[in-house]
Chains A and B, each alone.
Chain A
Amino acid sequence: MSLMKTMLTTSALAVSLSFAGAALAQDYQPDPNAKPGGNIIITYKDDVATLDPAIGYDWQNWSMIKSLFDGLMDYVPGTTELRPGLADSYDVSDDGMTFIFHLRPGVTFHNGREMTAEDVKYSLDRVTNPVTQSPGAGFFASIMGYDAMADGSASELSGVEVVDPATVKITLSRRDATFLHVMALNFASIVPKEAVEEWGTDFGKHPVGTGAYKLANWTIGQQLVFAKNTEYWRAGVPYLDQITFEVGQEPIVALLRLQKGEVDVPGDGIPPAKFEEVMSNPAEKARVVEGGQLQTGYITLNVKTPPFDNLKVREAVNMAINKQRITQMINGRAIPANQPLPPTMPGYSKDYKGYAFDADAAKALLAEAGFADGFSTELYVMNTDPNPRIAQAIQQDLKAIGVSADIKSLAQANVIEAGGAGKAPMIWSGGMAWIADFPDPSNFYGPILGCAGAGEGGWNWSKFCDPEIDAEATKADSYTDPANPERLAMWSDVYEKVMEQAPWVPVFNEQRYTMKSERMGGDDSLYVDPVSIPVNYDYVYVTK
């Protein structure tokens, strides 16, 4: 977050601060070897549901939308560092409540019209309007007037004002350290009103943005073709002329096709059953890029359901799980975790030790809690490999301390339902584990560990709600600079306090492995981009 640090050091002197885009844009050195041209093929198993940035929230459409649209803010490719996007620069008021964005001049939509401040206002009004049914609407809750939008009593956000065609002023109702990250989310992409109105609910099949690529062709259920936006406002990119996304391809089939040179990147990664085989072949291993991801796999313990309402029982379960063995079961594609945050996330507590694996101590704790003979419970799990296998390992570990867990292996939607309704005593999160929406520690709290998500249907499956911790989290988010060390220390403290209550067993942080064809060029970090998953399409290129 170097950008924000620069901002704060200067803020001591200035009443309000302003940065020219030129001063901020020292972000990414274009690859000197990059050659323009070429057409690559990416595969996915599942169909692309929509390319509407207000609605798309899937594995496969997230990075596609990133390449078709832009928001006011963006990230330096391959990193979690913010950089300006459609905003050339911005000013923040001293109290951190008002942001003035100066738009980049001369940016045009794919339909040729110039983007203005009206479009910014329209886009933010649209995504927060309940009629749009955006899964991301809640991210904008700190903008003034959000509540009136959410309950349907207003049709415009009162906090978003068009100052002039090149300037937008956004007023918040509370300080929000994550606001600039929110402005970089897909949900905050700028869309042209006339195109949205022309297509109505079908806008998701006829997207028009300002992004590096435009949608050239979409054969439903078969393929999408993206063509280079030759008018793109960032000079020199994208490199590729065309990207073809073929959908409906099983990961195993995609891998076979990659090996025959028919595919450039299998979007769903290397299938678990083939991982060892690929990694034991030096030529293939050389084409695999490994990186961290902002993800944690965990077991939730429902603190409202006996016997997990007893802290000692939760601690005992935390000590009983052999995380090392579970990571081995998935071919070492993860590292054991001891806290909710993944290690690459700012605010991760490096010195925190967590609960060490110790079955005897766990048994002793259980006895102390009055369960010397153990108890019976249920472990919910999503029914796709490797999750049932992991559940069996958890079951065996629990057996060793006398707890007998009945595995409920169900479809994803059913596990989510049981978790939200509070009916599941234990859930292994695999397949539904939390992946950060944006690289900030707050994103691992509210919906999954805070009181906000603990209600009926919420994603906080432990139903854990501690008002004191909630208050500290709110305080941490009222800083203006997300990277303020004090703020990050507060977040570390929040998660350590959560772990004292042990509503989760953090199990592992999955690593990401992207396989690519021989001709794919560009820095490795572009293939494990923490934001554009799986690949940052705007900056990769082909060598032949």
Chain B
Amino acid sequence: MLAYLARRLIQAALILLGVSFITFFLLYVLPADPVRQIAGRSATAQTVENIRHQLGLDQPFVVQYWRYLVGLVQGDMGRSYLQKTDVATLIMARLPATLLLMLGAIVAELVIGLTLGIIAAIRRGGALDQTLMITSFVAVSAPQFVVGLLLLYVFAVKLSWFPIGGYGSFSNLVLPALTLGIMGSGWYSRMMRSSMIDVLRSDYIRTARAKGLRRSRVLVLHAMPNAILPIIAMIGIDIGIFMSGIVVVESVFGWPGIGQLAWQAIQRVDIPIIMGVTLVSACAIVLGNLIADMITPFIDPRIKLR
């Protein structure tokens, strides 16, 4: 188990190194000059060259990348070109909001997905089942900015149940978490449905029913725990999917997380921030997958980690 963990951690480090290299390289070849963004439109050629030199952007790619790595190893993610602030400070200021949003989304997708999946499994083949499965299909396919604006329009503007964007209280969290979680809820309802159907067919359920237990008791206490287990392991993988969604969702709802930070940095070619957010997201994805894999043996003892 420990050897497995060590091996996975080394793999994770290599993956992060690869991600950092690819991102840094792509930003290096990008046909946009960060120095122009800093120097502004009225700058003279001399000012531009001066800034380029100060930031070390006149150095060859290998030197720039090496300097970045050396800083990174020492815990220095650099300074934002435009905000002049420490990238670590900027990310740490926004990370809690993103984590809260992801937590909210996980709760949302589990509650909605599992409930719909169970109902569909019980009513298998019926009209309700079909309706739910079509709904889940739509949920999986709907673009998040459309879902976000739709929820915002209906529940915040028209019905005034929730505030229009913003951050700070539980009611601010509901709509963005739903938007982010709705795609996952589509997946989960489908997985829960098939998982539940499998369990309901198994011998021990028939035994439980045969010994006279009520149907509801069998469903809740006997079938559900076993049907949910394989799904729990999927949550770690969700983190990666969420990372791609937060940029859109945070922008629509004005949620002050790292997605917004990344989006603004991309527009202004603020390379240290883009690098920082990319690496933090990559870390989250790698860790999420690792946790998912580590949990599996506890859920299903037949699986051994080697």
Contacts and interface: CB of A to CB of B under 8 A. Distances in A.
Given A47-B264, A135-B39, A420-B33, A256 B164 contact: yes
Contacts of B266: 411
Nearest to B35: A457
Nearest to A255: B164
Interface stretch (A10-18, A48-56, A325-333, A396-404): A48-56
Those 6 A-B pairs whose CB atoms lie nearest each other, nearest first? A135-B40, A413-B32, A221-B256, A220-B93, A248-B254, A130-B50
Contacts of B267: 411-413
A249 B45 contact: no
A458 interface: yes
B87 to A, nearest CB: 12
Contacts of A173: none
B83 interface: yes
B261 interface: yes
Nearest to A151: B46
A343 interface: no
Interface string A118-137: 00000000000011010111
Given A220-B90, A459-B41, A416 B85 contact: no
For this complex, into which size category does the number of interface residues on chain A fall? Answer: 35 or more
B31 A418 contact: yes
Contacts of B42: 135-136, 138-139, 437, 446-447, 459
Contacts of A205: 85
Given A202-B85, A221-B97, A455-B45, A253 B40 contact: no
Interface in B117-168: 149, 152, 156-157, 160, 163-167
Contacts of A354: none
Given A50-B82, A257-B164, A413-B267, A138 B44 contact: yes
Contacts of A57: 40
B36 interface: yes
A541 to B, nearest CB: 25
B44 A452 contact: yes
A456 interface: yes
Contacts of B164: 253, 256-257, 260, 262
Nearest to B165: A253
Contacts of B167: 222
Interface in A434-452: 434, 437, 446-447, 452
A290 interface: no
B228 interface: no
Interface in B73-116: 79-80, 82-85, 89-90, 93-94, 97
A221 B260 contact: yes
Interface string B223-260: 00000000000000000000000000011111111001
A296 to B, nearest CB: 14
B94 A221 contact: yes
A133 B48 CA distance: 9
B51 A133 contact: yes
Interface in A214-230: 219-222
A417 B36 contact: yes
A414 interface: yes
A138 B268 CA distance: 21
Given A221-B256, A447-B41, A459-B41, A137 B47 contact: yes
Contacts of B32: 411, 413-414, 416-417
B50 A417 contact: no
Nearest to B269: A413
Nearest to B263: A46
B289 interface: no
B43 interface: yes
A221 B261 contact: yes
**Of B79, B90, B254, B267, which is in contact with the most chain A CB atoms at under 10 Å from its CB?**
B254
B84 A248 contact: no
Contacts of A130: 47, 50-51, 54
A446 B260 CA distance: 35
A59 B168 CA distance: 26
A300 to B, nearest CB: 13
A135 B268 contact: no
A250 interface: yes
A37 interface: no
Interface in A485-514: none
A133 B261 contact: no
Nearest to A200: B84
Contacts of A414: 30-32
Nearest to A432: B41
Nearest to A152: B50
A201 interface: yes
B46 to A, nearest CB: 6
Nearest to B81: A133
A458 B45 contact: yes
26 contacts: A47-B260, A47-B261, A50-B84, A130-B50, A133-B51, A150-B44, A201-B85, A204-B85, A219-B93, A248-B251, A249-B165, A250-B165, A250-B252, A252-B149, A253-B164, A256-B156, A257-B165, A411-B267, A413-B36, A420-B33, A434-B41, A446-B42, A447-B41, A452-B44, A457-B36, A459-B42
A400 to B, nearest CB: 31
Contacts of A151: 46
Contacts of B44: 138, 141, 150, 452
Given A135-B40, A136-B40, A417 B254 contact: no
B72 to A, nearest CB: 19
A44 to B, nearest CB: 10
B287 interface: no
Interface string A466-483: 000000000000000000
Contacts of A52: 84
A31 to B, nearest CB: 32
A320 B257 CA distance: 47
